[in-house]
Structure 1
Amino acid sequence: MTPLKMPLPISLTFAAIFSLINLWLAYRCVRIRLNGPGGVGDLGIPELQERMRAHANFVEYTPFVLILLVLIEYAGGSGYWLEGLGSTYVIGRVVHALGMERPKFTMQFLGSFITWSVLLALASWALWIVARSR
């Protein structure tokens, strides 16, 4: 039996990695609730507020990055660049999450800067692909 060629392997890999990061960020919130008073919301706990914000921030940006990765890969974009930008995004999001929890504005800023840079690069790349195809 001949193995099937996997479509969009780079995007699929990053979708899995992003899902695992999402679970990690969610678990960090749940762990505080389980070890504390329980309940819903931030419970007035500063550490939980910071972790919830880091999780929400990841959820806000990741869909756009993933959609652009998928579409650029589908359009035939360079695998090396896609892997590089996806990996850079992962690093940026982890640095940001850790910077949110600890009062290390530098880490939070660096993570945000990396995220915005990757998103800008992917959006520009997508627009370049569209302009070239006309």
Structure 2
Amino acid sequence: MTAIEAAALYAAINILILLVLGLGTGLARGRHKVNFGSGGVPDMELRIRAHANAAEWIPAALVGLVILALIGAPAFLIHVLGVALSLARVAHALTMGLGKQSGPGRTIGALLTALVYLVMTGALFWYAVM
């Protein structure tokens, strides 16, 4: 698998995560009869925030993966970052998807996402100037 193919794989996985979170929010809107915002329903607030959090963090990471692949980073690095990102986002989503505002999954997800961002930033600088 080439680096760009690996980036495409993790883009697909993380877009699927966004889709599942978005569908969960949409289904909850129907169940709670809330068309806009959270309607003061705690379940809605958690689902909205879980989806929004993923939408805030996933896109830039995917851009980073694609750029790394395009500038010659090895497929192994794309896989390491892609797996870590995907696991982080699933862990984060599962905690909030289970109706919990906090928990180990959310903490691990947030910390691992930040670590992916840090390593990715370093790799982007490295490959940009090499």
Question: Which of 90, 95, 107 is matched with 1:94 structurally?
Answer: 90
Question: Which of 108, 113, 127 is matched with 1:129 structurally?
Answer: 127
Q: Which runs of 5+ in 2 are unaligned?
A: none
Question: Which of 48, 57, 73 is matched with 2:44 structurally?
Answer: 48
Shift of 1:42: 0.8
Shift of 1:7: 8.5
Q: Could you say which structure has the greater relative contact order, defined with CA pairs below 8 angstroms and 6 or more residues apart?
A: 2
Question: Which of 8, 23, 46 is matched with 2:4 structurally?
Answer: 8
TM-score between both structures, scaled by the size of structure 2:
0.89
Shift of 1:43: 1.2
Task: Render the CA deviation track for 1:81-119: whole Å, top value 9, x for unaligned.
Answer: 211210111110111112233244222111100000001
Are 1:70 and 2:82 counterparts?
Answer: no
Q: Which runs of 5+ in 1 are unaligned?
A: 1-5
Contact 2:28–2:44 (CA under 8 A) maintained in structure 1: yes
Secondary structure in 2 matching 1:63: helix
List structure 1 runs of 4+ shifted beyond 3 angstroms. Answer: none
* Residue of structure 1 equivalent to 2:111: 113
Secondary structure in 2 matching 1:8: helix
Question: Which of 8, 14, 18 is matched with 1:18 structurally?
Answer: 14
Contact 2:3–2:73 (CA under 8 A) maintained in structure 1: no
TM-score between both structures, scaled by the size of structure 1:
0.87
CA RMSD after TM alignment: 1.6
Shift of 1:59: 0.7
**Which one has the largest radius of gyration?**
1
